Amino acid sequence: MSKVFFASARARKWRYSDSMPGKLESLLAGSIKEKYFDKDEWVAVKTHFGSDGAHRIVRPVFLRIIADAVKNSGAKPFVTDTVRIKGLDYLEVANRNGINHLSVGAPVVLADGLYGNDNIVIKAGEILNEVAIASVIHDASAMIVCSHVKGHINAGYAGAIKNLAMGGVSGRHRSCGWKCGRGSMHTLGEGLFKWDSEKCILCNQCAEICPLDCIEFKDARFEYDSERCWRCGRCTRVCPEGALTFPGDDLIFLKSLPEAAKAVLSTFRPDKVLYINFLTEIQPECDCMPAADVPVVQDIGILVSDDLVAVEMASIDMIRKQAPLPSSLASDQAVKAGQDILLDIHKKPYMTTIDEAVRLGLGSLEYELVEI
């Protein structure tokens, strides 16, 4: 049975070893062994840099502890993420969110280059066919998948699988464009937008959020550049009226995530990837949104495992035991203690993703929780 190591967010004694940074050090001292990383091996620490306004990411203090642990094992870490907006702007976002070489003690690099098109197409599965893996992740021989666990408007639950799938695949490829990028998970077919003029209030939020400036309104009519559009879905998600949609299917989307994650992991030896899930500041939406809401449950702690499904299942089990926090989206929606909070908030059957990950051989639902 796979082991999942856990450190609680509670500090029951006023000493460093009872703090979350102190406990993360202890967790990693027991987890990062020579079996994972070779001397001088480059280790990708894959995280999410967040966005302007979404500050509830894995904090730099934790990234630094992870980088230090990798260095202590004799290997060489770098912190990385794929481009979500224009590359230089995304590095600035990382910097503003506190992630830079000085703060994390390791180089901070864009996994798919300044333009988000430095990637390598590999075979995926029945849904996606092919995906463009960020070249830095594709070529790295070892990785720590460092995920901020939260809710997600489309995925319901977002943790390590989503971090690998959406975060390991680029927005677009030089030849196949968005169709082998992460947009192929977001939409179906040609991914053509449907704009409802009756619902649209011309607030312009969709145009403002577009990282590629693809959208404009001419004579109060929605227009967009379909060739350049990544199908990232940011515009549809911020639309307050539901006036902008593109074709999608919840179950296909949920199953496409582990398929993409499997493609990303296929570029690594199985014993070269470690997962760290941060169950902290568990807010309802993705870290790429233009704002972070307050958490829907209390901070829980940090989980470490080398089994992708086990670390996800343990995370879900722990969130399910939590009471919804007052003054949060969970309480707005009258979610009660004992209910599945993330399921009730977003109404997405997120276990589809986990079950598909098991079917694809990405790990085990059964785990042994080892608390430090």
- Which residues make up the interface to ligand SF4 (CB under 6 A)? 200-206, 209-210, 212, 214-215, 224, 229-235, 239, 241, 243-244
Amino acid at 97: N
> Which of 211, 295 has the CB closer to ligand SF4?
211
Nearer to ligand SF4, 26 or 204 (CB): 204
163-196 in b/e form (b: 16+ CB < 10 A) is bbbbbbbbbbbeeebbbbbbbbbbbbeebebebe
Q: Which is nearer to ligand SF4, 64 or 234 (CB)?
A: 234
295 token code pair: 């958490």
Query: Minimal distance in Å, beta carbon 233 to ligand SF4?
Result: 5
Smaller CB distance to ligand SF4: residue 212 or 252?
212
d(CA 345, CA 339): 10
**At its nearest, how many Å lie between ligand SF4 and the CB of residue 234?**
4
Q: Which is nearer to ligand SF4, 168 or 233 (CB)?
A: 233
Beta-strand relationship, 130-134 and 119-123: antiparallel
Give the Cα separation of 279 and 304 in Å (integer): 11
Nearest distance from C-beta of residue 90 to ligand SF4, angstroms? 14
Give least dist CB 113 to ligand SF4, A: 18
- C-alpha separations of 155 from 18, 64, 255 in Å: 33, 29, 10
Distance in Å, CB of 200 to ligand SF4, minimum: 3
Residue 164: its H or E element: helix 160-168
> What's the token pair of residue 12?
């029951």
Nearer to ligand SF4, 217 or 268 (CB): 217
What is the distance between the alpha carbons of residues 317 and 178, in angstroms, rounded to a whole number? 34
Report the nearest approach of ligand SF4 to the CB of residue 17 (Å). 45
Least distance between ligand SF4 and beta carbon 197 (Å): 9
* Among 1, 9, 97, CA closest to 303: 9
The CA distance from 106 to 94, in Å, is 13
Pick 232 or 265: Cβ nearer ligand SF4: 232
- Element spanning 40, H or E: none
